[in-house]
Amino acid sequence: MDKKEVEKYLSNGAQPSTRVIRILTKEGVKMPKWVKMPLEKHATAKHADKLRKNQPKEEAAPAEEATEAPAEA
């Protein structure tokens, strides 16, 4: 990536998306003052009580031997 070219486009008014802003700042590209830095997102579960790790532990039932029924012809 040519940092000088990117800075030229930004100074001429190119509007980067939030993802592009994150990539460019990691690469060390100087962003203009008018570019709003994206906020850090913290993912949360909508229904945390339904998650498997939050459910009570079930005791393992002993496996019953399956008896096969004779096939009817």
Compute the C-alpha angle 28/21/41, nearest 5°.
Answer: 115
pLDDT of residue 34 exceeding 60: yes
Query: What pLDDT is recorded for position 61?
Result: 59
DSSP 4-45: HHHHHHHHTT----HHHHHHHHHHTPPPPTTSPPPPPP----
Number of domains into which the chain is organized: 1
Residue 69 lies in a domain: no
| CA distances from residue 9 to 17, 27, 34, 35, 37 in whole angstroms, order as listed | 13, 16, 14, 13, 17
Q: What is the mean pLDDT of residues 45-69?
A: 66
Residue 20 lies in a domain: yes
Residue 68 lies in a domain: no
Residue 28 lies in a domain: yes
Tell me if the pTM is above 0.75: no
